[in-house]
Amino acid sequence: MSSHTVKIAPSLLSADFANLAADVATCEQGGADVLHVDVMDGHFVPNITIGPLVVDALRSRTTLPMDCHLMISDPDRYIDLFASAGAAWISVHAEVTPHLHRTIGAIRAAGCRPGVVLNPMTSLDHAYEAAGDAEFILLMSVNPGFGGQSFIPGFYRRCERLRTWLDTNGHSNVEIEVDGGVKLDNVRSIVDVGANIIVSGSGLFRGDLAANIAEMRRIATA
Ligand code: DX5
Ligand code: ZN
């Protein structure tokens, strides 16, 4: 269990792309803390989704911070673009970011909160090395690329290990974000192993979005 406040971050990947502003408004009404924006380039991951133009279009429609999860092969080229489009948080994958220290610095210099993302089988060593610089570590609980996939249970062991390591090595300020397959029925066990930024797409957008956000918060904070 983390001492950090639980933050509910609906993933816009599951939104109605023809009515994004309406879904964003519903996220706000439901009490979301953050909007999770999945950026995919068709190269690092098979899918192609949202770019800076869409982030820029949404910025006037919401006061919520936009958490831009860059699933792209060359994130360094796009950090400034996402920052000036209105991203508040930017996270990059350790697997494709060879100069991670420099990239984190560039995110911070652009005025955003830097995060580092690890795929389900990427060594936690990357998180340990980044902990002094990144503000959050995003542990993927699916293989990135698509919404609606099944949660990979290896997440529990990894998250517990990372939370313990952060708390015993002077990095208790670093938050852990979870992304992939998070639903109302597993969020409690996910929070119990130390994640506090909760991304959920299909788990929130199927059914009553606002009610699901409120219910996820209730379960996660009970
Ligand atoms: C997957 C994305 C996720 C995705 C989660 O590559 O990073 O943010 O939208 O969707 P669900 O919650 O449906 O697994
Ligand atoms: Zn994501």
Please write the tens of the pLDDT for every residue from 30-50. Answer: 999 999 999 999 999 999 999
**Pairwise CA distance, residues 220 & 66, whole Å:** 21
Residue 208 pLDDT more than 80?
yes
Q: Which pLDDT score is estimated for 114?
A: 99
Distance from the alpha carbon of residue 172 to the mean position of ligand 2, in angstroms: 23
Pocket mutation for ligand 1, best pick of 35, 38, 178 (most atoms within 8 Å of C-beta): 38
Quick one: what percent of the chain has pLDDT higher than 90?
99
Q: Which pLDDT score is estimated for 93?
A: 98
Distance from the alpha carbon of residue 145 to the mean position of ligand 1, in angstroms: 8
Range 181-199 average pLDDT = 98
Strand order in the sheet with 113-118: 7-10, 197-200, 175-179, 136-140, 113-118, 89-93, 66-71, 35-40
Nearest CA to ligand 1 atom 6: 144
pLDDT band at 180; cut points 50, 70, 90: very high
- In the block, which residue shows the tokens 């970011």? 97
Structure tokens at 99: 């100069």
Residue 14 pLDDT more than 90?
yes
Q: Which residues are catalytic?
A: 38, 179
Q: Which pLDDT score is estimated for 75?
A: 98
Q: Which pLDDT score is estimated for 1?
A: 66
Q: What stretches of 110-150 show up as alpha helix (H) in DSSP?
A: 125-130
Give the DSSP H or E segment for 10: strand 7-10
Q: Is the CB of 75 under 6 A from ligand 1?
A: no
Phi and psi at residue 30, in whole multiples of 5°? -75, -10
Range 13-34 average pLDDT = 98
Q: Is the CB of 30 under 6 A from ligand 1?
A: no
- In the block, which residue shows the tokens 């869409």? 54
For residue 140, give the ligand 1 atom closest to its CA: 7
Phi and psi at residue 190, in whole multiples of 5°? -75, -45
DSSP state at residue 18 = G
Nearest CA to ligand 1 atom 9: 147
**Pairwise CA distance, residues 171 & 128, whole Å:** 9
- In the block, which residue shows the tokens 């803390």? 33
CATH number of the 7-221 domain:
3.20.20.70
- Of 90, 104, 103, 139, nearest to 119 (Cα)? 139
- In the block, which residue shows the tokens 């015993």? 168
Taking only the tens place, the pLDDT of each residue in 129-160 is 999 999 999 999 999 999 999 999 999 999 99
b vs e for 99-116, b when ≥16 Cβ sit within 10 Å of the residue's Cβ?
ebeebbebbbebebbbbb
For residue 201, give the ligand 1 atom closest to its CA: 12
Q: Which pLDDT score is estimated for 66?
A: 98
Q: Which pLDDT score is estimated for 150?
A: 98
Q: Which pLDDT score is estimated for 112?
A: 98
Q: Which pLDDT score is estimated for 2?
A: 83
Q: Which pLDDT score is estimated for 44?
A: 98
Distance from the alpha carbon of residue 87 to the mean position of ligand 2, in angstroms: 14
DSSP assignment of 170-200 equals T-TT-EEEEESS--TTTHHHHHHTT--EEEE
**Pairwise CA distance, residues 105 & 111, whole Å:** 10
Report the predicted TM-score, pTM, of the whole model to 2 decimal places: 0.98
The distance from CA 192 to its chain's CA centroid, rounded to whole angstroms, is 18
Range 184-208 average pLDDT = 98
Q: Is the CB of 197 under 6 A from ligand 1?
A: no
Distance from the alpha carbon of residue 170 to the mean position of ligand 1, in angstroms: 30
For residue 181, give the ligand 1 atom closest to its CA: 14
Residue 82 pLDDT more than 80?
yes
Mean pLDDT of the chain: 98
Give the DSSP H or E segment for 210: helix 209-221
For residue 144, give the ligand 1 atom closest to its CA: 6
End-to-end CA distance of the chain: 12
Residue 26 pLDDT more than 70?
yes
